[in-house]
Amino acid sequence: MKDSKTFLEKIGITGNINSSYTSQKRFKDGAQYRFEVPGIQKPGAMGSLIEAMDEFQVLVHRVTQTKGIMLLTDSEIEEMTDLAREAKLELFLSVGPRAVYDTSASAQTKEGARIGYRLRGYNNLLYAIEDVKRAISLGVRGIVVYDEGLLWTLNQMRKEGEIPEDVHFKISAHTGHGNPASAKLLEEIGADSFNPVRDLQINMLASLRDAIDISIDVHTENPKSSGGFIRHYEAPDIIREVAPVYLKTGGAVAGHHGWDTTESQARERIRQVFLVQSMILRYYPEAKMSGKGPSDLAIPVLR
């Protein structure tokens, strides 16, 4: 294996990750971590989440809608962008959903489920691009991407000026990536933030961090549909080894990915953020979190 290890080191992938590993990488503002709340699907839930942030006196930096751009009306998107901009929050909308504009039945089978949300054929790629362009036209600057080919295409569009250069692309955990080579590939083809598979051990996450510079998004909680495990006690070590990192918190409130979060459940997600923040303050108080509205957030713009 020595020759293979030597080659991996040559291309920037090392296996020298041990318990003493500490990431020296940071967000542009010098911070190590930020909070992300996924699964906020509608304006009402988003409004409740923002109110609960004040109640619990916690900061959230990113909100992610996971059901798909297609399932939101223009007015709903506009309302969510207004809320996010006023609160200085990133708002990421998800492409799709794939199941709506793809007639494939195979994705609903046990075998087909392995392909995740990847797009099939020219037309579905085209529809996805139109989905993204619609969201951008309504002020959105954060897009969750489930397909590597779509990511590459959108990045080419961004380079060519077809879409604004301040649009950020976040690769979803549902693409199923979890090793440093895949992480480097995603970074090279345009990802600004990378959500690896949910159940990676901390040393595995550290190997991703060692290989890439973009932010990594780590679930501190999971709904039952993705295992239901909670990593509150691990949050300090995740920050130490994976920074810059978004701690994705609040998922345990949901029953499954794409759960249509109610207003009361949105408030409960903020309570979960408070619990994770308490763990960090107890076990790693010197960890630096971003303040409100740092300049590199994908905050929606005025239309």
Tens digits of pLDDT across the chain (303 residues): 889 999 999 999 987 787 789 999 999 999 999 999 999 999 999 999 999 999 999 999 999 999 899 999 999 999 999 999 999 999 999 998 765 566 666 666 776 666 667 888 899 999 999 999 999 999 999 999 999 999 999 999 999 999 999 999 999 998 999 999 999 999 999 999 999 999 999 999 999 999 999 999 999 998 777 778 899 999 999 999 999 999 999 877 765 555 677 889 899 999 999 999 999 999 999 999 999 999 999 999 998
79-84 contacts, C-beta under 8 A, 24 or more apart: 79/43, 80/42, 80/43, 80/46, 80/300, 81/138, 81/139, 81/140, 81/300, 81/303, 82/300, 83/43, 83/46, 83/47, 83/50, 84/46, 84/299, 84/300
Tokens of 127: 């529809």
Output b/e per residue, 79-91; b: 16+ Cβ within 10 A. Answer: bbbbbbbebebbb
d(CA 266, CA 274): 13
Could you give the domains of the chain?
34-283 (3.20.20.70)
Q: What is the pTM of this model?
A: 0.93
Q: Is the peptide bond before 244 cis (omega within 30 degrees of 0)?
A: yes
d(CA 52, CA 264): 10
Q: How many C-beta atoms surround the C-beta of residue 7 within 10 A?
A: 10
Tell me what pLDDT residue 143 has. Answer: 98
Tokens 């308490």 sit at which residue? 278
Identify whether the C-beta of residue 239 lies closer than 8 Å to the C-beta of residue 35.
Answer: no
Helix (H) or strand (E) holding 169: strand 168-171
Tokens of 284: 């790693």
Tell me what pLDDT residue 16 has. Answer: 75
Tell me what pLDDT residue 33 has. Answer: 98
Q: How many C-beta atoms surround the C-beta of residue 274 within 10 A?
A: 16
CA distance readout (Å), 120 to 3, 98, 176, 207: 38, 9, 17, 31
